[in-house]
Amino acid sequence: MFAAQAACASDARAPEFLSSPDPAAAKLPFSEAVRSGELLFLSGQIGTVPGSGNALAKGGIQAEAEQTLVNIRNVLERHGASMRDVVKCTVFLADIAEWPAFNEVYRKHFSAPFPARSALAASGLAMGAKVEVECIAHVAAPAASPSRKR
Protein backbone atom coordinates (compact mmCIF):
# COMPACT_ATOMS: atom_id res chain seq x y z
CA MET A 1 0.00 0.00 0.00
CA PHE A 2 2.82 2.38 0.84
CA ALA A 3 4.32 1.84 -2.63
CA ALA A 4 0.99 2.78 -4.24
CA GLN A 5 0.77 5.95 -2.15
CA ALA A 6 4.34 6.87 -3.02
CA ALA A 7 3.66 6.33 -6.73
CA CYS A 8 0.58 8.58 -6.56
CA ALA A 9 2.51 11.25 -4.68
CA SER A 10 5.27 11.28 -7.28
CA ASP A 11 2.66 11.85 -10.02
CA ALA A 12 1.36 15.02 -8.35
CA ARG A 13 2.41 18.18 -10.15
CA ALA A 14 4.39 20.76 -8.26
CA PRO A 15 2.72 24.17 -7.90
CA GLU A 16 3.27 26.42 -10.91
CA PHE A 17 4.00 30.06 -10.05
CA LEU A 18 2.58 32.29 -12.81
CA SER A 19 3.85 35.78 -13.56
CA SER A 20 2.11 38.78 -15.05
CA PRO A 21 3.19 39.90 -18.53
CA ASP A 22 3.41 43.46 -17.12
CA PRO A 23 7.11 44.34 -16.64
CA ALA A 24 6.28 46.50 -13.59
CA ALA A 25 4.63 43.50 -11.92
CA ALA A 26 7.85 41.51 -12.24
CA LYS A 27 9.32 43.72 -9.49
CA LEU A 28 6.58 42.78 -7.01
CA PRO A 29 7.31 40.08 -4.41
CA PHE A 30 4.38 37.81 -5.32
CA SER A 31 3.04 35.77 -8.22
CA GLU A 32 0.01 36.86 -10.24
CA ALA A 33 -1.43 33.38 -9.71
CA VAL A 34 -0.39 29.91 -8.61
CA ARG A 35 -1.71 26.73 -10.20
CA SER A 36 -1.74 23.74 -7.86
CA GLY A 37 -3.39 20.65 -9.26
CA GLU A 38 -6.80 21.67 -10.55
CA LEU A 39 -6.88 24.93 -8.59
CA LEU A 40 -5.76 28.38 -9.67
CA PHE A 41 -5.12 30.82 -6.79
CA LEU A 42 -5.18 34.48 -7.85
CA SER A 43 -3.37 37.18 -5.91
CA GLY A 44 -5.60 40.01 -4.77
CA GLN A 45 -6.62 42.42 -7.52
CA ILE A 46 -7.50 46.08 -7.16
CA GLY A 47 -9.04 48.50 -9.65
CA THR A 48 -5.88 49.65 -11.42
CA VAL A 49 -6.39 50.58 -15.06
CA PRO A 50 -3.98 48.71 -17.38
CA GLY A 51 -1.55 51.03 -19.15
CA SER A 52 -2.20 53.90 -16.71
CA GLY A 53 0.91 53.55 -14.58
CA ASN A 54 -1.14 51.78 -11.89
CA ALA A 55 -3.76 54.53 -11.48
CA LEU A 56 -6.99 53.40 -9.85
CA ALA A 57 -10.21 53.67 -11.86
CA LYS A 58 -11.89 57.00 -11.18
CA GLY A 59 -15.50 57.19 -10.06
CA GLY A 60 -15.64 55.65 -6.61
CA ILE A 61 -16.38 52.16 -5.39
CA GLN A 62 -18.41 51.05 -8.41
CA ALA A 63 -15.75 52.11 -10.92
CA GLU A 64 -13.02 50.44 -8.85
CA ALA A 65 -15.11 47.30 -8.37
CA GLU A 66 -15.77 47.09 -12.11
CA GLN A 67 -12.07 47.45 -12.96
CA THR A 68 -11.10 44.99 -10.22
CA LEU A 69 -13.40 42.32 -11.66
CA VAL A 70 -12.20 43.03 -15.21
CA ASN A 71 -8.63 42.60 -13.94
CA ILE A 72 -9.61 39.27 -12.38
CA ARG A 73 -11.19 38.15 -15.66
CA ASN A 74 -7.98 39.09 -17.50
CA VAL A 75 -5.77 37.10 -15.11
CA LEU A 76 -8.08 34.08 -15.34
CA GLU A 77 -8.12 34.19 -19.14
CA ARG A 78 -4.31 34.50 -19.32
CA HIS A 79 -4.09 31.23 -17.42
CA GLY A 80 -6.81 29.23 -19.18
CA ALA A 81 -9.78 29.91 -16.91
CA SER A 82 -12.89 32.09 -16.84
CA MET A 83 -15.24 33.71 -14.35
CA ARG A 84 -17.39 30.55 -14.57
CA ASP A 85 -14.49 28.60 -13.07
CA VAL A 86 -14.26 30.72 -9.90
CA VAL A 87 -15.28 28.73 -6.81
CA LYS A 88 -14.32 31.19 -4.04
CA CYS A 89 -13.84 34.95 -3.69
CA THR A 90 -12.59 36.95 -0.74
CA VAL A 91 -13.54 40.63 -0.83
CA PHE A 92 -11.77 43.33 1.18
CA LEU A 93 -13.56 46.68 1.41
CA ALA A 94 -12.00 49.85 2.81
CA ASP A 95 -15.51 50.88 3.91
CA ILE A 96 -17.97 48.06 4.62
CA ALA A 97 -20.81 50.57 4.14
CA GLU A 98 -19.99 50.36 0.41
CA TRP A 99 -20.91 46.66 0.37
CA PRO A 100 -24.26 47.18 -1.44
CA ALA A 101 -22.59 49.23 -4.21
CA PHE A 102 -19.86 46.60 -4.62
CA ASN A 103 -22.44 43.81 -4.68
CA GLU A 104 -24.34 45.53 -7.50
CA VAL A 105 -21.23 45.41 -9.69
CA TYR A 106 -20.31 41.87 -8.56
CA ARG A 107 -23.67 40.56 -9.83
CA LYS A 108 -22.80 41.81 -13.34
CA HIS A 109 -19.76 39.51 -13.40
CA PHE A 110 -21.08 36.43 -11.58
CA SER A 111 -24.39 34.62 -11.88
CA ALA A 112 -25.94 31.59 -10.20
CA PRO A 113 -24.55 29.30 -9.10
CA PHE A 114 -22.42 31.90 -7.34
CA PRO A 115 -18.94 31.17 -6.00
CA ALA A 116 -18.51 30.89 -2.25
CA ARG A 117 -17.60 34.31 -0.87
CA SER A 118 -16.28 36.03 2.24
CA ALA A 119 -16.16 39.78 2.76
CA LEU A 120 -14.58 41.97 5.37
CA ALA A 121 -13.59 45.55 6.05
CA ALA A 122 -9.87 46.21 5.76
CA SER A 123 -7.97 49.44 6.21
CA GLY A 124 -4.84 50.29 4.28
CA LEU A 125 -5.53 48.51 0.99
CA ALA A 126 -2.75 48.85 -1.59
CA MET A 127 -2.54 52.24 -3.31
CA GLY A 128 -5.50 53.54 -1.30
CA ALA A 129 -7.92 51.22 -3.12
CA LYS A 130 -11.52 50.98 -1.98
CA VAL A 131 -11.74 47.25 -2.81
CA GLU A 132 -9.48 44.24 -3.31
CA VAL A 133 -10.66 40.80 -4.40
CA GLU A 134 -8.82 37.49 -4.48
CA CYS A 135 -10.21 34.34 -6.08
CA ILE A 136 -9.71 30.62 -6.39
CA ALA A 137 -10.75 28.92 -9.63
CA HIS A 138 -11.17 25.24 -10.51
CA VAL A 139 -9.31 24.55 -13.75
CA ALA A 140 -9.56 20.83 -14.40
CA ALA A 141 -8.15 19.49 -17.64
CA PRO A 142 -10.89 19.67 -20.33
CA ALA A 143 -10.85 15.91 -20.90
CA ALA A 144 -11.23 15.19 -17.19
CA SER A 145 -13.96 17.63 -16.21
CA PRO A 146 -15.53 20.56 -18.09
CA SER A 147 -15.90 23.98 -16.46
CA ARG A 148 -19.05 24.28 -14.43
CA LYS A 149 -21.94 25.83 -16.30
CA ARG A 150 -23.62 29.08 -15.36
- Could you give the angle at the alpha carbon of 146 between the alpha carbons of 89 and 16, nearest 5°? 60
Which pLDDT score, from 0 to 100, does residue 133 have?
A: 99
pLDDT category, 148, cuts 50, 70, 90? very low
Taken in order of first residue, the domains within the chain and their CATH numbers are 33-138 (3.30.1330.40)
Q: Encode pLDDT of 105-128 as tens digits.
A: 999 999 999 999 999 999 999 999
Of 93, 24, 94, nearest to 54 (Cα)?
A: 24
**Is 144's pLDDT higher than 50?**
no
**Is 146's pLDDT higher than 90?**
no
Q: Encode pLDDT of 77-99 as tens digits.
A: 999 999 999 999 999 999 999 99
d(CA 10, CA 68): 38
Which pLDDT score, from 0 to 100, does residue 147 have?
A: 44
- For the beta carbon of residue 11, count every other beta carbon within 10 angstroms: 7
Contact 94, 102 (CB under 8 A): no
The fraction of the chain above a pLDDT of 70, given in percent, is 83
d(CA 11, CA 7): 7
